[in-house]
Amino acid sequence: MKKKALSCILVLSLILSLGTILSASAVNDYEILIEVIPETILQGEFVTFRIHADLIGVDDSLLDYVSVRGYTAPNTAGMYVIYPDGTSTHYRNDLSPIIIQNGVPSEAMDYVDVTFGTTAPDKDDWDGPSLTEQLGLYIPDFSGFIYLTTGSVHWFDIYKEFTVTEDGNGEEWEGYTPGWWGTTASKLLGYQNGKPKISFAEYQAAVTCVYNTWSADLPWLPTDVQGAYDIYYASPSVDPLAKVKMHLLSHLLSLCQFPGDYSSITITGPLGTFTYTPAEWAAFLVMHYNMGHYDAVLHYADFLNNM
């Protein structure tokens, strides 16, 4: 075996051993919550870690503050990252620790957000380069201390994961608004003058495609052009969800009428930041409509339809 290959194997083994040692030596007496937003991002974009002060399974009134920082902790505190290529880096910053004092930071919330990536405004809090340059699975390991009002101090160690993917060379998505679909239906049915952009047969085919694909989850979907027209010209006083249905139907019709290999789209909204292809967004919107997250569905669908 060549010396260079042997050296690489030894380095990788050392990295994996270090991760195992760190994990084994950490004692999670009390846990805090760290969310990854989003769990999948495009190469060169950013990911946010939301660090909650709420304790899991413990009375929050005992919490004094949470600290994720280097200078009050041993060398293993801070954030340890294993990159997709197997290399690793340990980040500490004595100047900008993450502290949630008494469970309520200065923003009067029970969490703080720390963002990493090429465009992250607070990336320098960790005194490190972008963490999203490489494709693949990243494994950040957050560690620090929980201070209780009783005077006791408890070490925590939390592994999180996120994946960086490339956008590829897909087509750019172009959304079609409820106004476009409603006006087109009106012209095809003879209710409005003007030449429609697509034929009656094409519109009907899109409606049929939408119904066959999603009616099991959305029983209100139309079966013909007239039914689509009725949704687009419904009054909110008759149907409080009329606007949400218009925008959701528009995205589904656009997918059926204009199929293609589209690039992923990143949207930030009420439920967080997500990166999906248009087809994946459809599944997301349908799921959250049925969960009753109507404001969120309207927000994301409106963005997609106006691109």
In the chain (307 residues long), the average pLDDT of successive 10-residue segments reads 36 36 46 82 80 75 69 54 82 51 48 72 59 83 82 85 76 93 96 94 96 96 97 85 96 95 87 87 93 95 96
The answer to whether 110 touches 52, Cβ cutoff 8 Å, is yes
3-state secondary structure of 270: coil
Architecture of domain 26-165 in CATH? Sandwich (2.60)
> Locate tokens 């997500």: which residue?
274
Report the Cα–Cα distance between both ends of the chain, in Å, rounded: 55
pLDDT of residue 72: 36
pLDDT of residue 191: 96
pLDDT of residue 303: 96
pLDDT of residue 16: 37
Q: Return the amino acid letter for 34.
A: I
pLDDT of residue 129: 60
- Nearest-angstrom CA–CA distance, 14 and 262: 41
- CB-based contacts of 9, cutoff 8 Å, min separation 6: none
Domain boundaries, the chain: 26-165, 178-305
- CB-based contacts of 56, cutoff 8 Å, min separation 6: 30, 31, 32, 33
The answer to whether 304 touches 278, Cβ cutoff 8 Å, is yes
Nearest to 283 by CA among 203, 195, 217: 217
